[in-house]
Structure 1
Amino acid sequence: MDDAELVIPSVGPDPIPFDTARAAVLGYARGRRPLHFRAPNARTGRWVEIPAFGYERFDCRPRSDGPLGEPDILTAEGLHGRLDPGPWAAMKAVLEDVGPLADAATERSAGRALQDLPDDEFSVLAEPGTVGATLRQIWQLASDTPDVSPKHVAAALHHRRPDLFPLLVRTTRWQLLPHVREGDSGPEAVIHRELRANAGAFAALESAVSPLALTALRLHDVLLWLSASLRLTHAVELGRAV
């Protein structure tokens, strides 16, 4: 495809001009919004500028090593909000079961990014043991476990391997599901196809915003989430302003 635009059906029917995509990503990472802050011991408050989105609270956090645990929960909370004590304990427990599955997907990928994996890794015809099947198992496990927030689990895994584990929430899954084809292992197959179809454009976008250290997979997620949550236009305006 033409590297001057990104054709991402899950984001919308029209191609996204490269400059628009770059502005949206910059707006997500650098955009600010006003907040009127008043300390509990103060009689009056003042206006302050805070990050408009979750880049600094999530993407900029250092990555943890070793088994999944409390640092990964704190990172996920930075993007999706604090968990109550019950869900927090439930997530800590489920990460022990998710860990071996995540390790299996990482080993299967052999250091390759999601878009560099062959198509069979996201086809039910090649199962079991594929990356797509393992990702489906992880999402199903998180969804079926009481008090566990699947989006927090996805955020924890993505932060560990931002080039392999998609960062999905309910809103973005709904955007992807209509594009799932017969034989796909899940919505991750849609992401894989869109990244491969726009390989040149995503590589150029990754290079254009290289100081942000965002992978092609994360860039896809940012554009998809901004569109699905009706924030794309605002992010583009913020990006052009900065």
Structure 2
Amino acid sequence: MVLRLPSTGPEPLPPDHALDAVVGYARARRWVRMRSPGDAEGRWVQVPAFGWARFDARPAGTGLDADVLLAEGLHGRLDHDSWHAVHDTLAGLAPLADALVARAGGRALWDLPDGELSVLDEPGTVGAHLRRLGQEAGPRPAHVLAALHHRHPGLVPHLTRTTRRALLPHLEEGDSGVEAVVRRELRANADAFAELEEAVAAATGLRPTRLRLHDVLLWLSTTLRLDHATAAGRRLREAADPD
């Protein structure tokens, strides 16, 4: 069952390609030249090519400091001022995030009724809360939204400047924001994402939500890394199961 995600392009994504891409994102490694003060010549080491091990594989944070560290694992280290800006932004957004969770009532983004992502039913909807989170995410929005997604992996989409820009052309009249596009694609591909969730869990030992899987596929596509991750994932899966 193919994935049809207009935000990633006009061509459907076969399920084995989607699985390869996620496995590549989770397991691919790259070479980095490391040199320490005690090793003048340095040496080559392999490190994870993507953020899976530093973000997806990490348990939920136990406080704001841990949340910021998780976000750094995905988006890179912050300088002193930026670290405190993200920390303070997350603290300031806590009441809004709590209101969002309360409004969702335990439902995942893809299980919400249409009105929750429509401007016609505002104020107070999930879509309105998510839009405010994006608007008030401060000078480092990717770090803030990464932390919020890790805390609420089925409800808060992880959006970056690149992925948000890819979603904008697919907005429809009445949408509360680009999060409505994500929900629409999740609902339209519900069976395919359910199969992908199971396949990813079997291949990696972890079970990211379909919201995170959508984010990974969209980010890989919009940053021109999809082919690389897919090829790497295919090699890894073939090596694990040569038959």
Partner of 2:100: 105
Does the aligned pair in 2 maintain the 1:29–1:212 contact within 8 Å? no
Q: What is the aligned partner in structure 2 of residue 48 from structure 1?
A: 45
1:24 to 15, 21, 26: 21
The equivalent residue for 2:239 is none
Q: CA deviation at 1:43?
A: 2.9
| Structure 1 residues 17-166: aligned runs within 5 Å | 17-65=14-62, 69-142=64-137, 145=138, 148-166=139-157
1:235 aligns with 2:229: yes
Shift of 1:170: 0.1
Consecutive unaligned residues in structure 2, runs of 5 or more: 237-243
Q: Give the share of equivalent positions with the same residue, in percent.
A: 59
Structure 1 regions of 5+ residues with no counterpart? none
1:9 aligns with 2:6: yes
Cα offset, 1:96, TM superposition: 2.0
State the Cα deviation string for residues 156-181 of structure 1 (Å, max 9, x = none). Answer: 10000111110000000000000011
1:175 counterpart residue number: 166
- 1:61 is paired with a residue whose SS is coil
CA distance in 2 between counterparts of 1:116 and 1:222 reads: 20
Deviation of the 1:132 alpha carbon: 0.6
The structure 1 residue matched to 2:219, chosen from 225, 229, 237, is: 225
Deviation at 1:85, TM superposition (A): 1.2
Opposite residue 232 of structure 1, the aligned amino acid is: L
Q: Distance in 2 between matches of 1:117 and 1:40?
A: 54
Q: CA deviation at 1:212?
A: 2.3
Quote the offset at 1:92 in angstroms: 1.7
Question: What's the TM-score, normalizing by structure 1?
Answer: 0.94
Segment drifting more, 198-207 vs 26-35: 26-35
When structure 1 is superposed on structure 2, of 37-46 and 84-93 the one drifting more is 37-46
Distance 2:222 2:37 in 1: 36
Does the Cα contact within 8 Å between 1:77 and 1:152 map onto a contact in 2? yes
Cα distance in 2 between the residues matched to 1:152 and 1:45:
31
Q: Which moved more, 1:36-45 or 1:199-208?
A: 36-45
Provide the TM-score with structure 2 as the length reference: 0.93
**Structure 2 equivalent of residue 215 of structure 1:** 209
In the TM superposition, what whole-angstrom CA distance separates every residue of 1:164-201 from its partner, at most 9, and x where no partner exists?
11000000000000001111000000000000000000
Query: Amino acid of the residue matched to residue 218 of structure 1?
Result: R
